Amino acid sequence: MNYATLQTHHDSLLFEAVSGSHAYGLALPTSDTDLRGVFILPKRAFYGFDRTEQVSNPSQDETYYEVGRYAELLCRNNPNLLELLAIPPDCVRYRHPLMARFTPEMVLSKLCEQTFAGYAHAQIKKARGLNKKILNPVEPKRKTILDFCHVAEGQGSVPLVEWLRRRGWRQEDCGLAAVPHFRDGYALFHEVNPPPGEQYRGIVSGLDAQEVSLSSIPKPAVPAGLMHFNKDGYSAYCREYREYWDWVEKRNEARYQNTLDHGKHYDAKNLMHTFRLLHMALEIATEGRINVRRADREFLLCIRRGEFDYADLLGRADEKLAEVRAAYAVCALPEQPDVAAVEAVLAEIRESVYH
């Protein structure tokens, strides 16, 4: 079973609904229409090797779960799947009568604190990281090991690149020897026309090198200087460079432009959904129900428009997270979903369809 096959085997479809921002009541004119649904594998595929659990269209905005996988994720209190139990009627495109046997009462549990609020907490951390990326862009030109080396001079040190420039030396004509008991410290030698077979290997083998190069140094040679390589700093920079430019390559340009336009330096859509998840988590604990269509729509859209300061939002998020944790500590929800009840409904559906 794949997405294309599902589109032609309508008898396999058990449920289909518009999800995401349209279901929450948070859609903008530019919002995509997301679909989520549930299907059942044909009997032969279920008993055979083609046990497909999930299919999506190429753009990943239409996703369908095999009913067994759907039931499994309900028992894990997965937010995206729990929402399908309470999706607004105007968003439902098709619902097989048997799907009504799955109810929120059999699956809502204290696990929602982890799945809703835990995910929201992860989004808060992500927002902090994004804020750092926006405020501290990394230059496209990648630094090299040479930029993280300094040479002792007087009572201080100077950058290696500057030290070499003053002398008119090339790094390729230099050699390094490790200095005992001096972490990442090296004696630096220089020779323009060394005897045959005694050429130095340079400070680095190339601009993309990850380590300095060590040379075989003749015993009579006298070091021209003492160099230190900030290896930890270089490793941290490489990680930051990689993460930043991976983010640039994969970021949603429309959302990023919105972030720049409102000038608050945070991904407004990301933080809007963070608060939606926190509010939904609190409602599940205090009301025992899933409110998909958002009554707090105006507040959430204010976040999306960038009407709050970044620090204010993170402060509010931390306070709401604490409120959610306190609510789950005293709420009447069971510790775990009623797995046996979910399994019974799953068996009933398969028996009914496969009869």
**Domains, in order of start, for the chain:** 1-107+335-355 (3.30.460), 110-139+252-333 (no CATH), 145-236 (no CATH)
Distance CA 307, CA 317 (A): 15
Write out the two tokens for 85: 């139990």
pLDDT for 305 equals 87
Could you tell me if 269 and 20 are in contact, meaning their C-beta atoms sit under 8 angstroms apart?
Answer: no
Nearest Cα to 198, choosing from 220, 178, 180?
220
Could you tell me if 34 and 62 are in contact, meaning their C-beta atoms sit under 8 angstroms apart?
Answer: yes
CA of 266: how far to CAs of 242, 257, 317, in Å?
21, 11, 14
pLDDT for 195 equals 75
Distance CA 271, CA 309 (A): 12
pLDDT for 255 equals 57
Write out the two tokens for 96: 């097989």
Burial-class residue 355 by CB neighbours within 10 Å (0-12, 13-18, 19+).
exposed
Positive or negative, the CA dihedral 260, 261, 262, 263 is positive
Distance CA 288, CA 280 (A): 10
Q: Phi, psi at residue 332, to the nearest 5°?
A: -90, 5
- Residue 203 identity (one-letter amino acid): I
CA of 126: how far to CAs of 1, 43, 85, 200, in Å?
35, 43, 28, 46
Residue 19 pairs in a beta bridge with: 34
pLDDT for 262 equals 55
For the chain, the first-to-last Cα distance in angstroms comes to 20
pLDDT for 252 equals 66
pLDDT for 300 equals 96
Could you write out the three-class secondary structure of the chain? Answer: CCHHHHHHCHHHEEEEEEECHHHHCCCCCCCCCEEEEEECCCHHHHHCCCCCCEEECCCCCEEEEEHHHHHHHHHCCCHHHHHHHHCCHHHEEEECHHHHHCCHHHHCCCHHHHHHHHHHHHHHHHHHHHHHHHHCCCCCCCCCHHHHEEEEECCEEEEHHHHHHHHCCCHHHEEEEECCCCCCEEEEEECCCCCCCCCCCCCCCCCCCCCCCCCCCCCCCCCCEEEEECHHHHHHHHHHHHHHHHHHHHCCHHHHHHHHHHCCCCCHHHHHHHHHHHHHHHHHHHHCCCCCCCCCHHHHHHHHCCCCCHHHHHHHHHHHHHHHHHHHHHCCCCCCCCHHHHHHHHHHHHHHHHC
Is this prediction's pTM over 0.85? no
pLDDT for 238 equals 94
- Residue 111 identity (one-letter amino acid): L
Residue 62 pairs in a beta bridge with: 35
Task: pLDDT tens for the chain, 355 residues: list them.
Answer: 888 989 888 899 999 999 999 999 999 998 899 999 999 999 998 988 878 999 999 989 999 999 999 999 999 999 999 999 999 999 999 999 999 999 999 999 999 999 998 888 877 766 655 656 665 678 989 999 999 999 999 999 999 999 999 999 999 999 999 999 999 999 999 988 877 777 899 999 988 889 999 999 988 899 999 999 999 999 999 998 998 888 777 766 665 565 555 555 567 888 899 999 999 999 999 999 999 999 999 999 999 888 888 888 888 998 999 999 999 999 999 999 999 999 999 999 999 999 8
